[in-house]
Chains A and B, each alone.
Chain A
Amino acid sequence: MSTPTTSFGREAAAAIARSKNEPAWLIEWREAAADLAGKLELPKPEKMPLQRWTLDQYGTNRPGNVVTSVADLPATITSLLPQADKGALIVQHNSSVVYTRLSDELKTQGVVLSSLEEAARTHEDLLRKHFMTLYAKDEHKLAALHAALWNGGVFLYVPKNVVIEEPIQALLFADDAEATFMPHILVIADQHSGVSFVEQVATTLQASEATLLHNSAVEVFAKPGAQVRYASVHHMDESAVDIAYRRAHLDNDSRVEWIIGDLHNGNTVTDTKSILKGNGSTSDSKIISIGKGSQRMSITTQAVHYGRSSESDMITRAVMKEEATAIINGITKIEHGATKANGQQTEKVLMLSPKARGDANPILLIDEDDVKAGHAASVGQVNPDQVYYLMSRGITRQEAERLIIHGFLDPVVSEIPLEGLREQLHRILERKLG
C-alpha cells in the first residue's frame, strides 16, 4: 500500500506524463499547471468554505485493464451500463480509459470517440485549440490541479452536418480510492451537427484511509447551428469528493442542453455554465440533486449572454434530507450588446428535515437594457394540501409523500435521453430518498 499522495510539483506531473508517453507540448503544459497549483487559492463557492475538505489527496496513477470487448469488463462496470450491448461507448476505470466502441458507420462519417489522452497524440491541433480554454488552468487551485493531473478522459468530435441519433455513453468509474481519478471530457460538435452525450460517474469503493478526489471537467463546444444534449448522473460513494466544472461555448444559432443528476453521496462542488457567444444561441440547464446524511453540496448554474437574441433557461431542484446542506446558486449574466437576450432561472429546494439546510441564491447581472430576465426561487416543505389531496383518494401518507417528492424531481428525470439510464436514475433516487 502506498500512502496517499499529498504533495506534488512540476517534476511529479511531468513524470506521470512521460510514463504515459505523452507529447512534449502536453508535458510542458502539465508542468506549468503544476506550478500554478502550488500558487493558486481554492475556489470560493458562495457560503461553502472548502478549506476543511480533503482536497489534497491526488492519488497515484492506477490504470485499469484495457479490454477489447464489453464482456471482458469487470462485472461491477457492466452492471452500471444502462445499454451495454449497443451504441457508442467509452469507459474509464480508475486512472485510464479501458474500452472504446464506435460503429464503423460513425467512423466513416468522421466521428471521433477516444480517450482524451489518445486525442492529445492523434488530434493535437483540434485539442490545443479547445482544451481548457473554457475552464482555464489559472482559474483556481482545483483547475490547475486538474490541468496538471487529468487522466483518461473523453474526446468526442462530431463533424459538420453529422447528426448522431443514438446517445453516446460514457462511464467514468473508480473502485480504488488511491487512484488519481480526474477525467476531462471534451466534446466538439461542428457546424450543424447534433449529438446526445450521456455520462455517468460512479464508484464502488472499499473502506479506505484515502479519499478519492474526482476532480473533473467538461468542455462542450457547439459550433454554429450545432445541437448538443449533455446528460450526466454522478453517484459515487460517500467517501469520495465530487468536483465537476462543466462549461459550454455556444456559437451562432447553436443549442446546448444540460440534464444533470448531481446525486453524489459525499461532498460536492459542481458548476455548470453556458457561455452564449453566438447570436440566436440557446441553452437549457436542468439539474436535480438530493442531499442526505451530513453531505455538503455547492451547486451552481450559470449563463453568460454575449450573443444577440440568445436565450437561457436554468432549473435546479434539490431535495434535502437529514443534516445535509446545499447552497444552490443561479447566475444569469447579460453582457452589454446582448440585445433581445432572455435569461430565466428557477431554484427550488424541498426540505424533508428540520436539520437540513438549503439556500437558493438567484443572481441576475445585467449590463444591457433591451433584454428579458427572470428568476424564481423557493425553499419549502412538502405541501400539506397536496398530501391531503392524494390521501383523500385512498393513498397512504407515506406513498403520497413519496409521489410528491419523486414528482418534484421528475421534470429533470423524464428528460434523460437514454431509457436505460432513466430507469437507473429511478433506482438511484429510490435508494437516496430511502
Chain B
Amino acid sequence: MSTQFEIRGLKATIEDKEILKGIDLKINGGEVHAIMGPNGTGKSTLASALMGHPKYEVTEGEVELNGEDVLEMAVDERARAGMFLAMQYPSEITGVTNADFLRSAINARRGEGNEISLIKFVRQMESKMKQLEMNPEFMHRYLNEGFSGGEKKRNEILQMMLLEPKLVILDEIDSGLDIDALRIVAEGVNAMRAEDRSFLIITHYQRLLNYIKPDFVHVMMQGRIVKSGGPELAQRLEAEGYDWVKEELGIVDETVGQA
C-alpha cells in the first residue's frame, strides 16, 4: 500500500509558548517534500512534534499515517507504525553498542518470535555501512559516543536504511556535513526512495536539494507554512534569500517563540 501522511491544523507549544500555529501538509507515497526556512521559524519543532518528543505539547490538530491517528501513539508506537526521524542532535548512549541498539530496534519492529537472525543482521548492517563508507568498527562502538558530527549523521542514515520506514523525516541532516559526506548521505537517501516511502526533508540550505530532488518545497515562517511550490522555489530561495517572501507576505519578523 502506498503511504498516505497527512497533517491537519497542527499546533504545538513548548513550555507554554506556541511554536506551531496551524500546519497543514499532505504527503503521498513516493513523494519528497522539503521544508525550508530561516532559523527559529518552527521547522525542527514540527519534526519533534510529529515524532512525539516529550517536551512538545500538541494542542490542536490531527496527524494521520495510513489512516492511523499518530498523535494517539507513544513515541515507540509511531516508530513501529513506520515513522522515522533522523535527528539534528542524536543522543550519545554509553554502554549500548551501535549493533545491539540497531538489533533491538529491528526486533522491536518485527515482534516477538520473529527476531532477525544474528548472521542476517550482521550481513545487512555491514553492507549498509559499506554503502555509507562507514568504518566497520562503528558497529561495536557505543551509540554515537565520541562520533563526530558527520559520523552521527551517517549513523542516522544507517538506522533509516536498516529500519526501512514508511515516512522519513530528515531534520537538518546536512548541517555539519562536508561536501563528500553530504553526497554519501544523499546517495543513501536516494537509494531509499520508493513508491511506498515518503520523505519530509527539513533544511536551511538549498544545497542538499541539489542531491535529493524534492517534488514539493514549502517555506516555513512564524510557525506556519507560508508558501509552497515545486523545486524551482528552492532555487529561487537559494539565489535570492528569504526577503522577497517576507515582502510578498508582509512579514517583518519571520521567527516564532523567540524571547
Contact = CB atoms under 8 A, between A and B. Distances in A.
Interface in A393-415: 393-397, 399-400, 403-404, 406-411
Nearest to A393: B105
Interface string B142-154: 1000000000000
Given A388-B54, A397-B76, A411 B95 contact: yes
Given A384-B54, A393-B105, A399-B104, A408 B163 contact: no
Nearest to B82: A394
B108 A394 contact: yes
A389 B95 contact: no
A391 interface: yes
A408 B94 contact: yes
B93 A390 contact: yes
A204 B1 CA distance: 58
A209 interface: no
A381 to B, nearest CB: 14
A396 B76 CA distance: 6
Contact of B75 (A388, A407, A408, A410): A388
B75 A404 contact: no
Contacts of A392: 51-52, 75-76, 78-79, 84-85, 87
A259 to B, nearest CB: 15
Contact of A394 (B87, B91, B105): B105
**Which among A396, A400, A407, A408 has the greatest number of chain B C-beta atoms within 10 A?**
A407
B160 to A, nearest CB: 10
A385 interface: yes
A407 B93 contact: yes
A386 B79 CA distance: 15
A399 B53 CA distance: 18
Contacts of B109: 394
B94 A407 contact: yes
A383 interface: yes
A394 B54 CA distance: 15
Nearest to A412: B95
Contact of A393 (B52, B74, B163): B163
Nearest to A385: B91
Contacts of B80: 394
Contacts of B91: 383, 385-386, 388-389
A277 B74 CA distance: 57
A389 B104 contact: no
A403 B101 contact: yes
A391 B91 CA distance: 12
A234 B236 CA distance: 68
Interface string A271-292: 0000000000000000000000
Instruction: Name, among A389, A393, A397, A409, the residue most crowded by chain B CB atoms within 10 Å (CB to CB).
Output: A393
Interface string A232-263: 00000000000000000000000000000000
Contact of A395 (B54, B87, B90, B104): B104
Contacts of A410: 94-96, 142
B159 interface: yes
Contacts, number: 81
Interface residues of A, number: 24
Q: How large is the interface on B (under 10, 10 to 19, 20 to 34, 35 or more residues)?
A: 20 to 34
A232 B54 CA distance: 41
B187 to A, nearest CB: 22
A407 B141 CA distance: 12
Given A393-B105, A395-B108, A399-B108, A411 B75 contact: no
Contacts of B84: 392-393
A408 B90 CA distance: 18
Contacts of A389: 87, 90-91, 93
Contacts of B100: 403
Interface string B165-203: 000000000000000000000000000000000000000
Contacts of A411: 94-95
A393 B79 contact: yes
B74 A391 contact: yes
Contacts of A395: 76, 79, 104-105, 108
Contacts of A404: 93, 95-96
Q: Which residue, B52, B74, B96, B142, has most C-beta atoms of chain A within 10 A?
A: B96
Nearest to A384: B54
Contacts of B101: 390, 393, 403
Interface in B25-61: 51-54
Identify the interface centre among B87, B94, B95, B105: most chain A CB within 10 Å of its CB: B95
B143 to A, nearest CB: 8
Residue among B52, B91, B101, B142 having the largest count of chain A Cβ atoms under 10 Å = B91
28 contacts: A383-B91, A386-B91, A386-B93, A388-B53, A389-B93, A390-B101, A390-B105, A392-B79, A392-B84, A393-B101, A393-B102, A393-B108, A393-B163, A394-B80, A395-B76, A395-B108, A396-B76, A396-B108, A399-B104, A404-B96, A407-B93, A407-B95, A407-B142, A408-B95, A409-B95, A410-B96, A410-B142, A411-B95
Given A386-B93, A392-B52, 10 more contacts: A390-B93, A391-B75, A391-B79, A392-B78, A394-B163, A397-B74, A399-B108, A409-B95, A410-B94, A410-B95
